[in-house]
Amino acid sequence: MKKVEFKSKGYELISSVAKAMGNPHRLELLELLANGPKNVEELRREARMTLTNTSNHLQILKQLKLVKARRQFTSIYYRLADETIISLLKALHITAFRQLVELKHTIGQFRQQYGTDRAVIAELPATDYILLDVRPAVEYRHGHHRGAINIPHNQLGKSMVQLDKGKLIVAYCRGELCTLADEVVQQLNAAGFRAVRLAEVVMMKSA
């Protein structure tokens, strides 16, 4: 193999991984899976895509060995093929955030419109706040921020009473583009709690 051919083929292959993340739907699917395995219907629902399209994109990701599939009874469950993919997704977010003013602006504007303040927990005494994971319980079990408790966003109504009104509630969900924590923060503040959203990007490990 000539040097030029070697280099060409190498870049072709490496760039194909980047290309996989270059479609917004596939990127979202990867990030949903970073938070834990899901079946096709769950992914379809969370990403608000058609079933055919969801499956099409999953085949592309599978072909590139970024995800793995496993049948459990009548459902096919997908999961990330390797934990380095989480590091890659994080690095992509970090660069996109630093370089794209429009992205920063879009998120800042949305958070402001929603009235969601943010907190950096490293700056807070541990006794002053509660870290609240508002993702579905199965994702919490799969991996969560150390010290976090779990109240799935759709169970907040009945579980809110568990929370200490004397402490700041710092909520997080699946990442910067996930709005579950925004909803929860809004509901908690309306109920007389002091709640904000976690400032750091959180992306979980796979099993």
Residues identified as active-site: 173
8 binds DNA (CB under 7 A): no
42 binds its own copies (CB under 8 A): no
Figure out which of the listed residues 41, 45, 59, 91 binds its own copies, where binding follows CB under 8 A.
Answer: 91
Stretch that binds its own copies, among 118-126, 157-165, 178-186, 192-200 (CB under 8 A): 178-186
Rounded Cα distance between 181 and 175, Å, is 9
The residue (of 33 and 195) whose beta carbon lies closer to DNA is: 33
Size of the site for its own copies (CB under 8 A): 59
67 contacts 58 by C-beta, under 8 angstroms? yes
Rounded Cα distance between 178 and 157, Å, is 20
In whole angstroms, the minimum distance from the beta carbon of 96 to its own copies comes to 4
146 binds its own copies (CB under 8 A): no
Amino acid found at 43: L
Give the binding site for its own copies (CB under 8 A). Answer: 1, 3-4, 6-28, 48, 64-66, 81-82, 84-85, 87-88, 90-96, 98-103, 106-107, 109-110, 113, 176-179, 182
Give the binding site for DNA (CB under 7 A). Answer: 19, 22-23, 25-26, 39-41, 49-60, 69, 71, 73-76
